[in-house]
Structure 1
C-alpha cells in the first residue's frame, strides 16, 4: 500500500497534486466530509433516527457558544430537537449516496450510448443524438422534479428505499446526456485511427473493439465530467428535497434541513438553515475544485 502511494505521488498526476495547494485543500475538505458521512454512526454525537433520544423541549436551541445554547448540541438543534451536527453528518451520507449512485448510473448509460453512437454512426448515431437533443430541451431540474413528483404520487406509502430509487432515477435521466455527447465526440475521433483499423482488418468483433480498444482511450474526459457531475447531482438532490419531492421528510437530508430552517430564518433560528447550507457548499465546492484539478492534470498540453 505504501509503495503504491509512493509510485502515485511520483507520477505526473501525483506531482500535479502535490504542487497544487487548492487541490490539497479541496481533497482535505472532501475527505473530512466523506469520512464523517461514512462513519456517522460512530462519529456523530447523537443519532437523529433514534426517536427515543429526542427531547422536544430542546428544540430550536442555538449553538453552544451562545448564552442560550447547550454544550451537548455544538451547532444547536432543529425544530424536532435533533442535533444539527449529527444531522449534517447523516444528511451528508444521504447526499453522497444519492449523488454517487446517480452519477454511476448516468455514466454507465451515457458512455454505452455515446460509444455506440460514435462507433456505429448512421441511423443509430442520429437516433441517439436526437434523443439527447430532446432531453436537453427540458431543464434538468424540471425533469427531475416531474419524475420525482410522479413517483411520490404513484407510491405515496412506499418504503424509503423506493423513494431513494425514484430520486436516483430522476437525477440519472437528466445526467446521462452529457456523457453520451462527450463519449460520442471522442469516439468519432478514435474510430478513424490506425489501431482501430488494424483491429478491424484482423477480424476483431466490433463490440470487442469498442469496449477493449476505444473505451480506454475516451475515459479521460468521462472521469473529469463524472467528478464535476457528483457535485451537480448532490445539489439537485438538495433542491428536490428543499421542494418537498426528494427524500422522505423523516430523513435528515441537507435539502430538508434547509427547507425546515427557512421557516424559522426570520424568527432568529438561523443555524437550522445556515449550517446545512454551508455543508452543502463545502461538499460541492471541494468536488468541483478536484474536478478542475483533474481536468488540468489529465491534459498534457497544460503540463
Structure 2
C-alpha cells in the first residue's frame, strides 16, 4: 500500500494535478461539497426532515446577514421553517448518491457490452452498435422520464428504496452508450496487438483475455468519461426531481429543493431556491473541471 502511494505521488498524474490550479480548486470544492453532504447527520445544524423540530414561527426567515435574519439559520428558512443550510447538506447527499450509483451502473453495463462488441465483432458488434444508434437518437432526459414513468406505473405504492432504484435505473440506462462506443473503439485496436495474439496462441480463454489483458488497457478513456458523466447524472436527477418524478418527497434532493423554492422566488424569498441552485452549479462545475483535467493528464499527446 505504501509503495503504491509512493508511486502515485512520484508519478506524472500527481505532478500534473499539482501544476494545475484549476484542478486543485475544483478538487477542493468537490471535496467540501461531498464532505458536507455525506457528513450531514453529524455536521448539519438541524435535521430539516424531523417534523418534531420544525417551528412554523421561524418560517420564511432570510439569511443571517439580512435585517430579519437569525444566527442559528445561516442561510435562512423555507415556508415550513426548515433550515436551508441543513436541507442543502441532506439534499446534496441524495443527489450525489443517485448520481454516483447511476454512473457506476451505466459504466459497468457499457464497458461490458463495448468490450464484448469490440472483441467478438461480427453480427454481435453490428447489433450492439445499432442499439447504440437507436439510443442516441432519443434525448437522455426523455428516456429517463419514460423509464421512471413506467416504473412508477408498475409500482405505484413502492417503498422509498425501490423508488430510488427505479430512478437510478432511469438515469443509468440512457448513459451506457458512450461507454460502450468508447470501449468498443479501444478494444478494436487492442485485439490486433501482439500480446492478445500471443495469449490466444497459448490457449488463454477469450473471457480471461478480455478481463485480464484488454480491459486494463481501455480503462483510461472510461475513467475520464465517468468523471464527466457524474455531473451529467446529477443534473439529470435534479431535472427529474424538479419535474416531480425524481426522488421521493420524504427525502428531497437538490432538484426538489429548487422546485419547492421556485414558487417563493417571485415573492421575495430568493434564498430558498438560489442557494440550492448555486450548490448544484458548484458540484457540476467542479466535477466537469476535474474531468477536463483528467482527460488532458491521461492524453499522451499533451505530455
TM-score, length-normalised on structure 2? 0.97
Please tell me whether the aligned partners of residues 37 and 90 of structure 1 are also in contact (alpha carbons under 8 angstroms). Answer: yes
- In 2, Cα distance between equivalents of 1:179 and 1:74: 42
- In 2, Cα distance between equivalents of 1:127 and 1:53: 56
- In 2, Cα distance between equivalents of 1:5 and 1:196: 30
- In 2, Cα distance between equivalents of 1:60 and 1:252: 19
- Equivalent residue for 2:91? 91
Give the unaligned 5+ runs of structure 2.
none
- In 1, Cα distance between equivalents of 2:73 and 2:157: 33
- In 2, Cα distance between equivalents of 1:197 and 1:59: 69
- In 1, Cα distance between equivalents of 2:34 and 2:270: 25
- Equivalent residue for 1:19? 19
- Equivalent residue for 2:121? 121
- In 2, Cα distance between equivalents of 1:227 and 1:262: 30
- In 1, Cα distance between equivalents of 2:234 and 2:213: 33
- In 1, Cα distance between equivalents of 2:207 and 2:81: 57
Mapping of 1:1-303 within 5 angstroms? 5-303=5-303
- In 1, Cα distance between equivalents of 2:61 and 2:2: 46
Q: Secondary structure at the match of 1:250?
A: coil
Range that drifts further, 3-12 or 54-63: 3-12
- In 2, Cα distance between equivalents of 1:40 and 1:5: 29
- In 1, Cα distance between equivalents of 2:67 and 2:4: 51
- In 2, Cα distance between equivalents of 1:60 and 1:187: 57
- Detail structure 1 runs of 4+ shifted over 3 Å in the superposition: 1-7
Q: Deviations over 1:111-140 (max 9, x none)?
A: 000000000000100111111111111110
Q: Deviations over 1:139-158 (max 9, x none)?
A: 10001011112222332321
Q: Secondary structure at the match of 1:227?
A: helix
**CA 1:2–1:28 in structure 2 vs 1: closer, same or farther (change >3 Å)?**
farther
- In 1, Cα distance between equivalents of 2:9 and 2:77: 43
Equivalent pairs, count: 303
- In 1, Cα distance between equivalents of 2:81 and 2:153: 29
Give the unaligned 5+ runs of structure 1.
none
Q: Deviations over 1:67-100 (max 9, x none)?
A: 1112111001112211110011111100110011
Please tell me whether the aligned partners of residues 9 and 18 of structure 1 are also in contact (alpha carbons under 8 angstroms). Answer: no
TM-score, length-normalised on structure 1? 0.97
Following superposition, the deviation at residue 2 of structure 1 comes to 7.1
Tell me how large the CA RMSD over aligned residues is: 1.2
Following superposition, the deviation at residue 103 of structure 1 comes to 0.5
